[in-house]
Amino acid sequence: MTETTLTAHTLTELLDTRYSCRAFLPQQVPRDVIEQILALAQRTPSWCNTQPWQVAITEGDATDRFRAGLAEAIRTVTQASDIEFPREYRGVYRDRRRECALQLYSSLGIAGDRAASAQQTMRNFDLFDAPHVAVVTTDEALGTYGAVDCGLYVGTFLLAAQSLGVATIPQAALAGCSPYLRDFFDIPEGRNVVCAISFGYPDTDHPANGFRTTRADQDAVVSWVSR
């Protein structure tokens, strides 16, 4: 196996084995492992090398304090996001979203149970019991491209974590609680919350971690222009 082939194989393995973890063990990730993830994620390319991301990470008691405050904020604080959520899911995007939800609910044995499905959705705000959460923000003046760069950063973070045996789930849901996040992390004006990433070690026995989403065929997303 050539070096190039080995590199491609390693990337393929990371992409194939990573999934959105929805049940974590309470075990903390050692600080040095988190710092390795961050060092790898910092190599993310960005528009004009602006590197617009800033990241706030909880550990120890701070995660529990954040989680408890978030649960209270969901009930009492008007929700708002700094970046507009999708206006609608239509066509194939709606279909893929529904398929993912059905896979999750079926794995938990709650397909068709609206009350249980809603309760599962609220697990986002428990961080799925993760011992850590990272909140990613961008400079609002950089607009869409700053958010795109942060999306690249999130992708690198997920794969870096996977390479070190750490499970992750990126969460847009928490961005809808930006007033609470802004207060908890003392996020300054001029920065927009992009998303959060809950992370830790996976509970591999939990049924929520027992399914894998599909990916569209290349023909569904790629068009070739040869001349």
Kindly list the averaged pLDDT for each block of 10 residues, start to end, along the chain of length 227: 87 97 98 98 98 98 97 87 95 96 96 94 96 98 98 98 98 95 96 98 97 95 96
Question: Taking a C-beta distance cutoff of 8 angstroms, is the pair 197, 103 a contact?
Answer: no
How many whole angstroms separate alpha carbon 25 and alpha carbon 203? 5
For the whole prediction, is pTM greater than 0.85?
Answer: yes
Q: Are 50 and 142 in contact (CB under 8 A)?
A: yes
Q: Give the strands of the sheet with 167-171, arranged side by side.
A: 54-57, 132-139, 191-200, 167-171
Question: What's the pLDDT at 75?
Answer: 87
Task: Give the SS3 label for residue 2.
Answer: coil
Alpha helices for 20-174 (secondary structure H)? 31-41, 61-76, 91-107, 114-122, 143-163
What pLDDT, on a 0 to 100 scale, did the predictor assign at position 41? Answer: 98
Biggest CA–CA distance in the chain, Å, is: 60
Instruction: Give dist(CA 197, CA 119) in Å, integer.
Output: 20
